[in-house]
Amino acid sequence: MATKTPKVPFDWESRKPWLDVPFPEDEYRERIARTRKLMTENGFDALLAIAREAGDATVRWLSNFTPFLGQAAIVLHPEGEPVLIAEMAMHGEPMHTLFNRTWFRDARLVPAGSSITAEVVKALGGGKSIRRLGVIGFREMPVYWAEGLKDGLAGCELKSADQEILRLRAIKSPREIEKMRSAAQISGLAIKAAMDACRPGASEFQVAGIAHQVMFTLGAEGLAFDSAVVAGPRAGLKHGYPSGRLMQNGDMVFIDMAAQVDGYHADLSRTIVVGEPDDYQRRMLVTAEKLFEVWMQRARPGVAVNDIKEECTKIAHDAGFEEEHQPLGWGHGLGVSLFELPFLGGPQGPVNPDGGTVLQEGNIFALEPMLVKLGVGTAVVEDTMLITHDGIEALSGLTTKIYS
């Protein structure tokens, strides 16, 4: 529980010398302005963004703060400075718990004996002028949050703003694109090191460790997700944690891993064969590369995702891989969270768009058309992709042709 008076001051002037943010303040101010426009368009009197340790994307996008412990929230009114509220601090000291990583002037710690919902209600002015509150994190909001807000904001309607903020984040700024490019390039170098380490007698653990060392050496702040290094028959399950299994000649090895840089997630995967691929493995790998190349040739602003998917599906079926082709495994948007817009098809967690997706300049997504054969392996070329003004770019720089 936090102390009432931390020994290390964390007011704005005390935080300024230690400020650690990846973008200039004008980048964040522009995001706040766009979010306020969203509020007006949707009739929200105020906006609340909730962050928990496993889901802090929008709070980080707006403030650069991520809760080290417990939960945090942003309160945004139509005017004035945004407010950050965090409920826990290591040793009772906000400056021990990343408060120096937010540019917000108004950053508050929930005092002992209070609750984060009570402090949010105070920051909302007790709801006196708020009849419609947009909530980001609505779907994952705990029951006690909903009850606390309804009790403290009598007569206020709570409405999800999750889809609206996802649409806002779907077009990346030039500075965001450079962060994503850095994350993708680091990831590409890590996977290249992993592929080079795949040889008879190497364990999946060893290969993962080599790749992780590359990522952190080159500047990753963390892993974008739990890494997969899966060799042999288990590679036909696609995702899986590394194990102590030793690789053998003829194993297909599925590698799926990526770096997180300043909050931004890349996502890459490749498949390699230890030694020489047999005819079936080679055909799988060649076809997977062809599916990726269709996107490289067709994708650009204004193109419907479903049109590209139809062409790829025909190629997979004509090559004899109707059963192996995964019709929901096309990929997902990327950014400050691992699953964002644009929607490419298949289950996407909080992403639930209306209708088909038409690509837009500034979209970034993981593209992963795949063939999967149980007991044999996974053939996929996955990269972090950017829609440019006239086409598409794979950001990692990692080769796609990885078979002999």
Could you report the per-residue pLDDT of 242-280, keeping only the tens digit for each?
999 999 999 999 999 999 999 999 999 999 999 999 999
Omega before 342 within 30 of 0, i.e. cis = yes
CA distance 215 to 184: 10
Q: Which CATH number fits domain 174-394: 3.20.20.60, 3.40.50.10490, 3.40.50.720, 3.90.230.10?
A: 3.90.230.10
* Res 3: pLDDT: 46
* Res 1: pLDDT: 42
* Res 126: pLDDT: 81
* Res 111: pLDDT: 86
CA distance 251 to 241: 16
* Res 350: pLDDT: 47
* Res 227: pLDDT: 96
Which DSSP state fits 110? Answer: P
* Residues 278/272, Cβ–Cβ less than 8 Å: no
CA distance 369 to 347: 15
Give φ, ψ of 155 to 5 degrees. 80, 0
- Any idea which architecture 12-169 has in CATH? 3-Layer(aba) Sandwich (3.40)
Listed by start position, the domains of the chain span 12-169, 174-394
* Res 346: pLDDT: 55
The reported pTM is 0.91
The tokens for 165 are 């903020």
Assess whether the region 12-169 and the region 174-394 belong to the same CATH fold. Answer: no
Q: Which residues are CB-neighbours of 323 under 8 A, at least 6 positions away?
A: none
The tokens for 272 are 């390699």
Which DSSP state fits 251? Answer: -
Spans in the chain with pLDDT lower than 70: 1-4, 53-54, 127, 346-355, 403-404
CB burial string 338-356: b at 16+ within 10 A, e below: bbbbbbbbeebebbeeeee
Q: Which residues pair with 378 in a beta bridge?
A: 372
Question: Which of 212, 227, 216, 229 lies closest to 257, judged by CA?
Answer: 227
